[in-house]
Amino acid sequence: MPSGAGHDAMKMGDAMPQAMLFRGCVLVLSDSLAGSLLEAELTGIISHEVAHTYFMGEMTEAREAQDKQAMKIVELKCDAIAVLSLKLLGFDSGNYISGLRRREKLANAVGLSSRFSATHPEVRVRNHFLARWMKQLSQ
Ligand SMILES: [Zn+2]
């Protein structure tokens, strides 16, 4: 996996379709996710995870306060950065949502569908937020 900009990456052999930023500097991707997504979808997912570095303090505060709504807001901010990153890299920004949907299907297939529901907005909500945000960007 590529490394740069102060981040390292590792691929984990796991059936759980997950991506996460460990300690704010190591990107961890499961085999099942890395092997199932299209390049642009995976780029969006990785961009989202790297975006978490911008909001570490906010996320830590939300976690410590067990403020699930604040955690969901951070997720939406990271989504916005992921979509903007895709756009700047020349990918169709719709690949981000299709990547989230594909990850959701993979999670459902291994019985993990509800794992992130407390701390992450539903894909439908994320899609709606991103559509509105992209519309504002184009005005
Ligand atoms: Zn996230």
**35-75 pLDDT, tens per residue?**
999 999 999 999 999 999 999 999 999 999 999 999 999 99
Distance 26 CA to ligand 1 centre (A): 14
With 80 as the cut, is the pLDDT of residue 12 above it?
no
d(C-alpha 106, C-alpha 75), whole Å? 20
pTM equals 0.86
d(C-alpha 76, C-alpha 85), whole Å? 14
List pLDDT tens digits, range 108-121. 888 876 666 778 99
Domain assignments of the chain as residue spans, ordered by start: 8-138
Distance 75 CA to ligand 1 centre (A): 5
Q: How confident is the model at residue 9 (pLDDT cuts 50, 70, 90)?
A: low
